[in-house]
Amino acid sequence: SDLGCCSRHHDAVSSIHRIPMTPYLQDLLDRRFVARLGKRTLDWLCRHEDDFRIARVTTEAVPWRVKPLAELMFLLTALKRHGLNSPSLTRLSDGALEEGEKFDWHELAAYDASAATGMAVVADFFQCQGRPAPFEDRFFGFLHQIDYFEGMDRLPYRDMDLAYNLGRLISTEYEKDIPVWFRSTAFGRRQHIVRYSIDDIYSLTHAVFYLTDLGLRRPETLLDPETAGRLRAELATLTGAMLRADNTDVLGELLLCWLFCGVERRGLNAVIFQHGLHQMMAVETDGSIAPTVRILQQARSGKATFGQLYHTTLVGAFLFNLLSEARTYARN
């Protein structure tokens, strides 16, 4: 595959992997490199802090202008809830709070009903930082009350997204809708795994995010044991398939799902997870994580853009910083 040329690891560790070593030594080296990448990805995000600012003059529609900042806030909230702290995370959080205060979020709500999730993510971030939302709570509540946010068609995993965020922001009662919508996804309909498209896998990873509260609850909390077991098995199989694909963004999200669902990392599963992790390591350049081999080549020559790199770098920052915790790395 195209990505196979990168799966030897990053230059910093590829030479080490040519030396025969015990599984224990290999595991130790991976842990150290993961911790290093966790720091490097956050350093890259800090260096590109200005790129997350919302453009005031642009031809882009409002939702696309706020998307990078909202996704950064989502990561910062998740890492904080997992108990991770660092000077880089504090710097990024302070900058996101400052930028979030400047923007008129009511303008986003006026654009269309898709504003619901973005505004909920922003409010959740501010709440986790001990700050009130940068928009009128009553305004958001009013739009929700009159079903304004229901005025659009959503894919099932996007309905899960909304239910999850309303559960975080308004009432946990909304979480009861999450498994209902999950039954309408490709996985919920028991679609054969060979028929999964990239979009189907992407929808599954995001569905897992909401089902597990980003790893803070077991899948069995909202799913029956048989479905939760099938989910773990199919995550491993899909990851094995993605090892041959040129899409590090989805691969990284799948590996996060392993952590969130507690997929056992022994035997063949251990081999799949390790190869997936090595592919993520192999596409790192100066702290950024490239989503494809072509963009990796551009990144190494300094020609890749922020827009090409930031989302996969957010995914990588989440993965590597969670794995840098000894408890998470060793958990099966």
Beta bridge partners of 245: none
Residue scoring higher pLDDT (152 or 167): 167
**H/E segment holding residue 239:** helix 225-242
Judge contact between 274 and 288, C-beta under 8 A: no
Q: What is the DSSP string of 181-195?
A: HHTTSTTTTT--GGG
Q: Which two tokens stand for residue 53?
A: 């600012």
Cα–Cα distance between 272 and 280 in angstroms, integer? Answer: 13
Q: Which two tokens stand for residue 129?
A: 């930082």
* Mean model confidence pLDDT for the chain: 88
pLDDT of residue 57: 61
- Under DSSP, the state recorded for 196 is -
pLDDT of residue 31: 87
3-class DSSP state for residue 285? strand
Cα–Cα distance between 263 and 158 in angstroms, integer? Answer: 24
* Residue 116 pLDDT grade (very low, low, confident, very high; cuts 50, 70, 90): confident
What's the pLDDT tens digit per position in 158-203? 889 888 988 888 888 888 999 999 999 999 999 999 999 999 999 9
Cα–Cα distance between 321 and 86 in angstroms, integer? Answer: 11
